[in-house]
Amino acid sequence: MKKLLFLMIFIFITSVLFAKININTATKEELMSLKGLGEKKAEAIIERREKKPFDSIEELLEIKGIGKRFLEKNKDNICVGSDC
């Protein structure tokens, strides 16, 4: 019984720690947890998605100050739509 409980807790914690951030639904704080993303860029992402939701993570390149290096660092931690 203790082993099963431990396993369930472990699975829950790892799923939370390694969950991808959906750039179309994430809070400003969640976006700011990404490597190299500060408050202004997080706000810019939110502003952009309110006008038109992102169809792919590559569309982040349309945000001033976000480049290919940011995408490379964070590609495993971000998602949109059915990728999440």
The predicted-structure confidence for 29-77, as pLDDT tens digits, reads as follows: 999 999 999 999 999 999 999 999 999 999 999 999 999 999 999 999 9
> Within a domain: residue 33?
yes
> Within a domain: residue 69?
yes
- 31 or 3, greater pLDDT: 31
> Within a domain: residue 1?
no
> Within a domain: residue 64?
yes
> Within a domain: residue 59?
yes
Range of the domain at 46: 21-83
Q: Report how many domains make up the chain.
A: 1
- pTM value? 0.76
**Terminal C-alpha separation, the chain:** 32
Q: In whole angstroms, give the CA distance from residue 29 to residue 7.
A: 29
- Phi, psi dihedrals of residue 79, rounded to the nearest 5°: -160, 170
CATH number, residue 66 = 1.10.150.320
> Within a domain: residue 9?
no
> Within a domain: residue 40?
yes
Rounded (5°) CA angle 67-21-12: 145
